[in-house]
Structure 1
Amino acid sequence: MTATDGPTFHLIIDEVVLRRPVGGDRIMRAQLRRMVELAELPSITLQVFPIDAVTPPSPGGAFSVLRFKDDLDVGVVAVPNHLSSVYFDEPCDVEAYVEMFGRLAQHALDPDDSVKLVARLGNA
């Protein structure tokens, strides 16, 4: 099985989250270093949305777009809340989130700079 046979992940993480020491400094640094290791896998693209970026319109929180390679389905969007998640599968809803993700990716650091930032924070 090659990297393209399995799932691929493209993540955009707000820099603010990376700077909040959840669990203490030692645990946070270990988590950041692990993120760097995982970002080196060919199936993972990591981008950091920088603190000083001009914020494009967003849904106001986290969301996941799940798309499938067979192109038979437009995909599903999951928006978590404090109890569970809300799921959207209507094509117009999914495409709106895909477009929003694209705008966020354009304003985020490129993957190489993102990994460098995470590595620097993990070694601080």
Structure 2
Amino acid sequence: MGKSPTVHRRRLGSELRRLREIAGRTHREVAAHLDCSQGKISQIELGRVPVRTSDVRLMAEFYGATGDQVEALIDLAQDSKQRGWWQQYPSTAQRPGLQTYLGLETSAKAVSCFGSDPLPELLQTTDYTRALLMADSQVFTDDEIAERLKVVSIRQQRLLGENPLELWAVLDESALRRCVGGPAVLRQQLEHLVLLGYRRNVTLQVLPFKVGGHPLMGDRAAVFSFADEADPQVVHLGDSANSRFLDKAADTSDYLKAFEQVCTNALNPKDSSAFISSVADELPT
């Protein structure tokens, strides 16, 4: 799928913030120079909004950037205006936080995730996803369900191909036992997990109930890592209705350590596969 506009915007914002700090300029000064609000400058630096190339040039020159730096920033600004593949799916594009999440996932080299139920969408079967949608408090039309299933299917293609996404998922035992869609659907889902675990780019671990407390209790977290060192790791917390994205080392370090601890507490991949199979065997036929 290539680089997404989300990553371009975040890199552009990060670089503009770096240049501003080197120049010793405040948000107030930059806003006055561009004749805009301080909030707009903050949103640009956080990579949350596209930026006009004329504003990028004004900001960069105000910071004393070189000609080459200015041109590189303008290239980033132009790339950040491209439409993401998900924007052709209207109900998906309107979900709060999801556009940023999909933009990061599309460009990531690796994703590590943990959460209780439901299972991560990258690992879901079509029947499992459909059952979740049918159980949602929001009533979806047939077209909306078809669209969401299509979007999940497109995302799952990242696990295939010559340069697949590296996925490391720690699954809470509750996600394996929640009988979404009934025994037959869950059995098929668990068997699908076992097969996915044989892929070189997929690592699955189970965190059993017997482990007890752990650093990520109550959290649903995903860590996005990128091939380009210019793109810092991003930690996503919550779900599409309550999303937070952290990319500063001071904010992400505790969550990265917590994920490492959860991985240490979880069963190793081989034992996790056996555990998933045992849960599937317990289901009525």
- Shorter-chain TM-score bucket reads 0.7 to 0.9
* Alpha-carbon separation, structure 1, partners of 2:246 and 2:219: 15
**Could you say which residue in structure 2 is the equivalent of 1:11?**
169
Bigger helix share: 2
Structure 1: state its 5+ residue gaps: none
* Alpha-carbon separation, structure 2, partners of 1:10 and 1:31: 18
Offset of residue 73 of structure 1: 2.7
Of the structure 1 ranges 68-77 and 97-106, higher mean CA displacement relative to structure 2 is found in: 68-77
- Number of aligned pairs? 122
Q: Which amino acid aligns with 1:80?
A: G
1:58-116: per-residue Cα shift (whole Å, max 9, x none)? 25221100011333233111112461421111112222211110000010001110011
Q: Relative CO higher for 1 or 2, CA cutoff 8 Å, sep ≥ 6?
A: 1
* Alpha-carbon separation, structure 1, partners of 2:198 and 2:245: 30
**Could you say which residue in structure 1 is the equivalent of 2:259?**
101
Offset of residue 38 of structure 1: 0.7
Corresponding position: 1:73 with 2:242:
no
RMSD: 1.7
Q: Secondary structure at the match of 1:52?
A: helix
Offset of residue 119 of structure 1: 1.6
Q: State whether residues 74 and 94 of structure 1, in contact with CA within 8 Å, keep that contact through their aligned partners in structure 2.
A: no
- Greater Rg, structure 1 or structure 2? 2
Q: Which amino acid aligns with 1:120?
A: S
Of the structure 1 ranges 11-20 and 63-72, higher mean CA displacement relative to structure 2 is found in: 63-72
Bigger strand share: 1
Corresponding position: 1:122 with 2:280:
yes
- CA distance change for structure 1 residues 85 and 112 in 2, over 3 Å: closer, same or farther? same
Offset of residue 55 of structure 1: 2.0
Question: Which of residues 270, 275, 284 is equivalent to 1:112?
Answer: 270
Structure 2: state its 5+ residue gaps: 1-160
Percent of pairs with identical residues: 30
* Alpha-carbon separation, structure 1, partners of 2:211 and 2:239: 25
**Could you say which residue in structure 1 is the equivalent of 2:178?**
20
* Alpha-carbon separation, structure 1, partners of 2:268 and 2:213: 16
